[in-house]
Amino acid sequence: MSLLCWSRGGNSFGSSSRSKEQQQQHRTSLVTDVAWQKDLGPSKKVKSAPKVQENISLGPQVRGDEEVFGVAHIFASFNDTFVHVTDLTGRETISRVTGGMKVKADRDEASPYAAMLAAQDVAAKCKEVGITALHIKLRATGGNRSKTPGPGAQSALRALARAGMKIGRIEDVTPTPTDSTRKKGGRRGRRL
């Protein structure tokens, strides 16, 4: 009867009575057993049930005639245009695309064309998720800066409507100060 103990030569756990040759033979026999079992693999294969393709819908569960609303936050400054669609709470972003993501030249970021491309991308993503209608919140830079929306605002709104999104309420959410900090540019204004 052999006892299992730590062998002094190495850190392997096994019987001390086996010689190195016997251990080597045992290892090779294990390897050939595994290889032999792999060869038998295909004949023992069990046929599985056919996989059923499940439809995964990302949006809310609604009937076909019902409108699902989201909120489109359009921020149109004179440097860029953001089209950002969220759910009604505003916590969950569905899609956000800017004019700068659609054109290469820096000067074109705020252009109506870039805003239109951004709005088309957002509308496609909304349809994919299941949003069919949008409330619009339009915003300019505001504060002590310009209160008029940039050139991309109107074309972004028009592109959303043309892409098949139904428009709910349109609201101007430009921040307007009741009393403001000093406007940048200095006493004599910005000299061009």
Strands 166-172 and 4-6: unpaired
Local confidence band at 175 (pLDDT 50, 70, 90 cut-offs): very high
Give residue for tokens 């349109």.
Answer: 170
- Going by the DSSP 8-state scheme, the letter that residue 103 receives in this structure is -
| Contact status, residue 163 vs residue 119, Cβ threshold 8 Å | yes
Interval 95-141: pLDDT, tens: 999 999 999 999 999 999 999 999 999 999 999 999 999 999 999 99
| 139, 145, 150, 153: CA torsion to nearest 10 | 0
What is the per-residue pLDDT for 82? Answer: 98
pTM of the model: 0.68
